[in-house]
Amino acid sequence: MIRINIALLGLGTVGQGVYELWLRHRERLREKVGVDLEIKKILVRDISKRRNIGVPDEKITVNFEEICQDRDISIVCELMGGIEPAKTYIRRLLEAGKQVVTANKAVLAEYGGEIFELATKRGAYLGFEASVGGGIPVIKILREALIGNRVESILGIINGTTNYILTRMLENNLSFERALEEAKQRGYAEADPTLDLTGLDSAHKISILASLAFGVFIPSHRIYVEGINEIDLMDLKFAKQFGYIVKLLAEARESRKGFEIRVYPALLPENHILTSIRLNYNAIYIKGDFVGDVLLYGLGAGKEPTASAVMSDIVSAVEYLRFNKFPLIKYPLREDKDLRLVSVKDSVFRYYFRFSVVDRPGVLSKISGVLGNHGISISSVVQIGRQIRKGAVPIVMLTHETREEQVVKALEEIDQLDIVKAKTKRLRIFE
Ligand code: NAP
Ligand code: HSE
């Protein structure tokens, strides 16, 4: 039987998951694929780290050249994360004639254009199924199964860490910090969790999905991003009282005005299907002009689901090596300098506002006066509780549809009023 040697760059959450999957399913894969896969080498940063997964010492190295220059290694999985040295290693491996698999959405979302171009030039396989949606096979579905469609829109919950935090806060009254700590311990968070919290990880992923869907490379720095780092438990609870659940959404659509691609926390009506996506689950809603609606759901972070996606790419790389069988669909290489992205300021939403104000007569009329001057119409309002000593009370308002630009101007003005004690919280409502 043919043996194909693989190397892993990284033995953290994902690397360990891939190693464990390989140990457990080597025989099964041998039967199904007809090839014996051998993990020959694993690159780590710190060789002295205790890892408890029983990898023989001779497989572990801190020398990238041992992998890159080994002619017997055909497939290399980059599972380190970060931009450098990951980007340089991916380039070096492609240049050395290796087939490359990566779980690294950050590097693809910023440098995908040049990496895809190099892979195409070298005629190499470049798999990135694990870069979006953990175990959900969304890349293969977008690139292959939905090729007959013009993708109209994508709406997703595509960050497991933030979805886990929002769920645990609302359902179990956990503080933000405690819920984040749990997400880190479970291996969902990035090495730098601010990427998750600020929405950047979701921006990396929607950049990849939008680039595949629309056929033009859309780097993540062009995407509007807001995270969940300023969300209070209070907002999750008030939203629920109004019949909404807060989720971190990633959205991409092509309209007559251009591409609307953004990441933001939003209030979703409780009967919206995405409100049932809890904990580290992800879901991606794709609308195609022929297929209609497709909803993909599964575990979006963690070592086992991500390892499942990496192994799917390893087997695709084997198929490519053995039969030169590679999806015809091209990578989104072209970075369009004139890319028309619609500014969020020009978009129209309904809004949730939470004002922190002193509790005295006339406060509400001052606020609604400013909103009225900016053409913002209120659909509901509640004051929750009474002022205790010198503190502030929250007043929560929902608005009718309004252009974002008006909202920004009105809130700037309101936050200057002497009755307002803290910056107003503002969330969009998705309907
Ligand atoms: P991680 O737990 O931090 O592991 C990173 C691994 O890479 C560690 O083994 C580390 O070595 C090694 N490494 C880092 N920099 C290195 C360098 N310069 N040279 C050699 N080795 C280096 O990260 P992870 O959670 O497994 O994530 C890996 C990648 O998968 C990231 O791109 C992430 O975005 C992506 N991803 C993660 C998940 C998830 O649920 N965690 C899901 C999908 C995709 P040491 O062990 O010696 O420190
Ligand atoms: N940190 C990422 C998340 C890992 O929480 O979704 C999966 O890409």
- Three-state secondary-structure class, residue 396: strand
Whether 195 and 242 share a structural domain: yes
Pair 125, 317: CB distance under 8 Å: yes
Q: How far is CA 192 from CA 84, 183, 184, in A?
A: 14, 12, 10
DSSP state of 379: E
Is residue 421 domain-resident?
yes
Answering whether pTM is above 0.85, one says yes
Using alpha carbons, select from 21, 12, 9, 8 the residue that is nearest to residue 192: 12
Q: Which two tokens stand for residue 241?
A: 């009282």
Number of structural domains in the chain: 3
Q: What is the CATH number of the domain that holds 35?
A: 3.40.50.720
DSSP state of 104: -
DSSP state of 220: G
Q: Which helix (H) or strand (E) holds 93?
A: helix 86-95
Is residue 336 domain-resident?
no
Q: What is the CATH number of the domain that holds 392?
A: 3.30.70.260
Q: How far apart are CA 359 and CA 390, in angstroms?
A: 9
Question: Which ligand 2 atom sits nearest the alpha carbon of residue 105?
Answer: 8
Q: State the amino acid at position 306 in one-letter form.
A: T
Whether 200 and 153 share a structural domain: yes
Domain holding 77, by residue range, is 3-138+303-323
Whether 230 and 375 share a structural domain: no
Residue 205 bears catalytic tag:
yes
Whether 253 and 315 share a structural domain: no
pLDDT, position 388: 53
Is residue 328 domain-resident?
no
Is residue 49 domain-resident?
yes
Whether 270 and 161 share a structural domain: yes
* Structure-derived torsion over alpha carbons of residues 366, 368, 373, 376, reported in degrees to the nearest 10: 160
CA 62 to chain centre: 30
Whether 355 and 319 share a structural domain: no
Q: Which residue has the tokens 């933000």?
A: 176
From 14, 190, 308, give the residue whose CB has the most ligand 2 atoms within 8 Å, as the site to mutate. 190
pLDDT, position 196: 98
Is residue 377 domain-resident?
yes
CA angle 310, 312, 318 (to 5 degrees): 105
The pLDDT averaged over each successive group of 10 residues in the chain (431 residues) is 96 98 97 96 95 93 98 98 98 97 97 90 93 97 94 97 98 96 97 97 97 92 96 94 97 92 98 97 98 98 97 96 72 74 93 92 91 95 66 91 97 96 96 86
Is residue 105 domain-resident?
yes
The catalytic position among 105, 205, 247, 303 is: 205
At residue 147, what are phi and psi to the nearest 5 degrees? -60, -25
The region, left, alpha or beta by phi > 0 then psi within -120 to 50, assigned to residue 265 is beta
Pair 300, 280: CB distance under 8 Å: yes
Q: Which residues line ligand 1 (CB under 6 A)?
A: 10-15, 43-46, 49, 79-81, 85, 103-105, 130, 134, 187-188, 190-191, 301-302, 306
82: Cβ contacts below 8 Å, ≥ 6 apart:
104, 106, 107, 191
